[in-house]
Amino acid sequence: GESVGLHLPTLSVQEGDNSIINCAYSNSASDYFIWYKQESGKGPQFIIDIRSNMDKRQGQRVTVLLNKTVKHLSLQIAATQPGDSAVYFCAENSAHNAGNMLTFGGGTRLMVKP
């Protein structure tokens, strides 16, 4: 079936460096993508989203890039800080029996070294 997957389960970066978290998707019909951050002991929190009519969207220290040709999504975090240590999930919209909903990838753990 359709799925969203990640290239790297764990990413370790030095504080101050830029981080790039990657995500591959297989449903060419998906038109909405979203990134969540989950800190230990908490529920996932929205970071940034993007629609398929865009290639790039920027937020505060974060940028999401969408390459529809190769069905690839990435999250870039500038000047990574210790507070960025968390698990990051990408998700795409998909059709389910009751309507559209998000399908989540497996997650990438980001570890920031001081």
Partner 1 sequence: GAGVSQSPSNKVTEKGKDVELRCDPISGHTALYWYRQRLGQGLEFLIYFQGNSAPDKSGLPSDRFSAERTGESVSTLTIQRTQQEDSAVYLCASSAGLAGFKQYFGPGTRLTVT
Q: Which of 73, 41, 46 is nearest to 59 (CA)?
A: 46
Q: Is 40 left (phi over 0), alpha (psi -120 to 50) or beta?
A: beta
- In terms of CB distance, is 74 or 103 closer to partner 1? 103
In this structure, are strands 32-38 and 45-51 parallel, antiparallel, or unpaired? Answer: antiparallel
Q: Which is nearer to partner 1, 96 or 113 (CB)?
A: 96
Q: Which of residues 13-32 bind partner 1 (CB under 8 A)?
A: 32
Q: What x-and-dash track marks residues 32-51 binding partner 1 by CB under 8 A?
A: x-x-x-----xxxxx--x--
Q: Is residue 13 exposed (0-12), middle (13-18) or buried (19+ Cβ within 10 Å)?
A: middle
62 counts as binding partner 1 under rule CB under 8 A: no
Q: Does residue 100 interact with partner 1 by CB under 8 A?
A: yes
**Contact region with partner 1 (CB under 8 A), list: 15-23, 57-65, 74-82, 94-102:** 94-102
CA distances from 50 to 13, 35, 58, 84, 105 (A): 25, 9, 9, 20, 16
Considering the complex, state which of residue 84 and residue 92 has its C-beta at the smaller distance from partner 1: 92
Residues engaged in binding partner 1 (CB under 8 A): 32, 34, 36, 42-46, 49, 89, 93, 96-107
